[in-house]
Amino acid sequence: MKTVVLGCGRLGSELAARLYRRGHQVTIIDQTAASFNRLPPDFQGRTICGDYLSSDVLNSADLAHADSLAAVTDDDSVNAVVAHIARVVYHIPNVVVRNYDPALRPVMASFGFQIVSSSSWGAQRIEELLDSPRISTVFSAGNGEVEIYELFVPNRWNGKRLGDLLANTAECIVVALTRGGHAMLPSADAVLQTGDILDVSATASGIACLRGLLESNQEAQP
């Protein structure tokens, strides 16, 4: 797969190296030649130094034959413009855009890009870890609007029906129950046991309800 990475900062250099090791034909562009020093010694993809918005630079990167492009500079405007060019002019099927400033995320989303908002996601993830260490995130969709969380069933939930326990928890769906190393798709009638592991798909409000349920059960313990 031919992949073009725009920006050789900390994120871009790490991404380019990872893609190269997975067998991608990687071309990485940056406006500063010294930025390529961030690439590891084993990276043997193409490096192009030049203006991100130059048609000569983009043509030199062979965007016309690229399968994917990641615009990951620290300039949201540049990322959005090049992503738009990649999709409309070069018809690249898979374009991913980094959002640096959370305030500009709605504007970038209006273009229909696949967006990774590292600042927004990072803040949400840290909030989750500080707010409720008993629940861990194992998968994040989009920019964290829906995530899959993993939690261990506490003693207070032993013997309770799953449906009864989560009856009033909105925007929260249990997608798997693991017991003794064996995972299953649980029904509402499933009876929980201490030590079971629940994987729960939820929005931010849904997981907040689940945290509240855990905390209320914790407070109720003698």
The 10s digit of each residue's pLDDT in 157-197 is 999 999 988 887 778 899 999 998 899 999 999 999 998 98
Residue pair 70/28 in contact (Cβ under 8 Å)? The answer is no
Q: Are residues 44 and 91 in the same domain?
A: yes
Q: Sign of dihedral through CA atoms 32, 112, 124, 154?
A: negative
Residue 77 identity (one-letter amino acid): S
Alpha-carbon gap, residue 190 to 212, rounded angstroms: 21
Q: Considering the domain boundaries, does residue 139 fall inside one?
A: yes
> Of 144, 138, 137, 87, nearest to 117 (Cα)?
144
Residue 218 has pLDDT above 70, yes or no: no
Q: Are residues 140 and 75 in the same domain?
A: no
Q: Are residues 11 and 95 in the same domain?
A: yes
* E-assigned strand segments in the chain: 2-6, 25-30, 46-49, 68-71, 94-99, 114-117, 136-141, 146-152, 172-179, 182-184, 197-203
Structure tokens at 198: 């629940």
Q: Considering the domain boundaries, does residue 126 fall inside one?
A: no
Whole-prediction pTM: 0.68
Residue pair 70/18 in contact (Cβ under 8 Å)? The answer is no
Backbone angles phi, psi at 97, to 5 degrees: -120, 135
Q: Are residues 17 and 38 in the same domain?
A: yes
Q: Which CATH number covers residue 12?
A: 3.40.50.720
Per-residue pLDDT tens digits for 93-134: 999 999 989 888 888 888 888 898 888 878 876 776 676 556
Q: How confident is the model at residue 45 (pLDDT cuts 50, 70, 90)?
A: very high
Alpha-carbon gap, residue 115 to 96, rounded angstroms: 6
Q: Are residues 154 and 108 in the same domain?
A: no
Residue pair 69/63 in contact (Cβ under 8 Å)? The answer is yes
Measured in whole angstroms, how far is the alpha carbon of residue 175 from the centre of its chain? 19
Q: Which CATH number covers residue 159?
A: 3.30.70.1450
Q: Are residues 65 and 106 in the same domain?
A: yes
